[in-house]
């Protein structure tokens, strides 16, 4: 039985032509995009310190209330020399806040508040940790009717869930995969690709870029990534520092996309012809059997 070739000559010629279009560091929308000048954007060897972290849902905070035990209070009517009378204690300790301690993890809710149990909820979204600390301290003082300066509060971020970047890998015509990771402050493109286990098998090494978010109507901020320079030569010029909201897009190979496209177009046609051929053979077989029986 003679086997049928997978692709015809014109299909092979088309695929060969598509290979020739895949040269260069980055091609998108039919244009070559050059990397930005050195120093224009932060890279592996030229990283910047990110701004103070602003709390937002769904971050997780650790809140600790520090108050002194009763025997460490300084009587207000007997201030000691050199001690500010407004300070009523000698030191802060991890002493339980009564009637309900609030020390522990607190998730920032959808409305930007954290729940402090019987004391109520306090707004922390849009604040830095220092601002949130003062906001919570004032809130607790108000709810417990304590004197100013009688407690201190510590606030830290346990999970930076609200600031993320995304790695998007093209599936060569079969969808796209999106992975989101929290920002820690010093990630680069190489770190981001390592988080997904490296480039998928269908990915192109020459079509990787960072799409930096921008307001509607502003010019696109596309930073082309030269993967082979980063990995094979150790050149850090395009190993950009990842910023919150960045989209790292990994395009698939042109030849694989074209092959999958052709397969999706031709397979339904082949199925239709297969059904027609099967029906024709079945009809001929029935006719042949009928003729033999008549004779």
Mark whether 212 and 121 lie in a shared domain: no
Query: What one-character DSSP code corresponds to residue 190?
Result: H
Domain holding 130, by residue range, is 60-159
**Among candidate residues 159, 191, 207, the one where a domain is terminated:** 159
Answer yes or no: are the C-beta atoms of 210 and 222 closer than 8 Å.
yes
Mark whether 151 and 197 lie in a shared domain: no
CATH code for position 192: 3.10.560.10
Structure confidence at residue 9 (pLDDT):
56
Helices 254-294 and 9-20: angle between axes, nearest 10 degrees = 170
Q: Is residue 286 part of a domain?
A: no
Q: Is residue 187 part of a domain?
A: yes
Q: Is residue 209 part of a domain?
A: yes
**Among candidate residues 128, 159, 190, the one where a domain is terminated:** 159
Q: Which residues contact 15 (CB under 8 A, 6 or more apart)?
A: 7, 255, 258, 259
Q: Is residue 275 part of a domain?
A: no
CA distance 286 to 293: 11
Query: What one-character DSSP code corresponds to residue 119?
Result: G
Strands lying side by side in the sheet with 221-225:
176-182, 164-170, 247-252, 203-212, 221-225
CA distance to 12, 13, 58, 60, per residue, from 9 (Å)? 5, 6, 56, 60
Mark whether 33 and 81 lie in a shared domain: no
Q: Is residue 14 part of a domain?
A: no
Mark whether 231 and 89 lie in a shared domain: no
Six token digits for residue 51? 């701004």
CATH code for position 82: 3.30.1950
Taking the complete model, does pTM exceed 0.75, yes or no? no
What is the C-alpha end-to-end distance of the chain, expressed in Å? 31
**Among candidate residues 124, 159, 194, the one where a domain is terminated:** 159
Mark whether 230 and 183 lie in a shared domain: yes
Q: Where are the beta strands (DSSP E) in the chain?
A: 27-28, 31-32, 60-66, 104-107, 113-115, 121-123, 152-159, 164-170, 176-182, 203-212, 221-225, 247-252
Mark whether 46 and 171 lie in a shared domain: yes
Residue 261, classed as helix, strand or coil, is helix
Mark whether 64 and 140 lie in a shared domain: yes
Structure confidence at residue 14 (pLDDT):
52
Closest to 110 in 3D by CA, of 97, 123, 99:
123
Mark whether 45 and 180 lie in a shared domain: yes
Q: Is residue 173 part of a domain?
A: yes
Mark whether 150 and 171 lie in a shared domain: no
Q: Is residue 290 part of a domain?
A: no
Instruction: Determine how β-strand 31-32 pairs with β-strand 27-28.
Output: antiparallel
Total number of domains in the chain: 2
Cα 2 → chain centroid: 51
Mark whether 152 and 168 lie in a shared domain: no
CA distance to 30, 37, 144, per residue, from 106 (Å)? 49, 44, 20
CA distance 257 to 263: 10
Mark whether 46 and 66 lie in a shared domain: no
CA distance 70 to 183: 43
pLDDT along the chain (295 residues), means of 10: 49 50 52 73 92 95 80 52 49 62 92 93 96 94 83 91 95 93 92 96 94 85 94 94 96 91 83 75 71 51
**CA dihedral defined by 192, 193, 197, 201, rounded to 10 degrees?**
160
Mark whether 40 and 117 lie in a shared domain: no
């Amino acid at each position: 039985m003679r086997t049928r070739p997978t692709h015809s000559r014109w299909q092979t010629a088309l695929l060969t032509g598509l290979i020739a279009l895949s040269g260069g560091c980055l091609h998108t929308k039919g244009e070559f995009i050059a990397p930005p000048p050195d120093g224009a954007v932060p890279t592996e060897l030229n990283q910047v310190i990110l701004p103070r972290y602003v709390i937002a849902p769904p971050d997780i905070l650790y809140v600790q209330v520090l108050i002194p035990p009763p025997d460490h209070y300084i009587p207000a009517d007997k201030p000691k020399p050199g001690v500010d009378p407004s300070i009523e204690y000698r030191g802060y300790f991890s002493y339980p806040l009564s009637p309900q301690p609030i020390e522990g993890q607190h998730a920032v809710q959808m409305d930007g508040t954290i729940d402090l149990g019987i004391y109520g909820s306090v707004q922390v979204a849009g604040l830095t940790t220092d601002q949130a600390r003062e906001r919570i301290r004032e809130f607790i003082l108000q709810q417990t009717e304590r004197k100013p300066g009688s407690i201190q509060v510590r606030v830290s971020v346990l999970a930076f869930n609200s600031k993320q970047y995304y790695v998007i890998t093209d599936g060569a015509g079969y969808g796209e995969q999106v992975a989101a990771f929290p920002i820690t402050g010093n990630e680069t493109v190489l770190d981001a690709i390592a988080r997904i286990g490296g480039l998928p098998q269908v990915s192109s090494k020459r079509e990787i870029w960072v799409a930096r978010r921008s307001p509607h109507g502003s010019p696109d901020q596309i930073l082309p990534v030269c993967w082979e320079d980063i990995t094979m030569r150790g050149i850090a010029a395009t190993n950009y520092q990842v910023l919150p909201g960045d989209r790292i897009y990994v395009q698939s190979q042109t030849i694989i996309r074209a092959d999958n496209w052709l397969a999706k177009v031709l397979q339904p046609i082949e199925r239709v012809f297969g059904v027609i051929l099967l029906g024709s053979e079945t009809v001929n077989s029935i006719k042949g059997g009928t003729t033999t029986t008549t004779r």
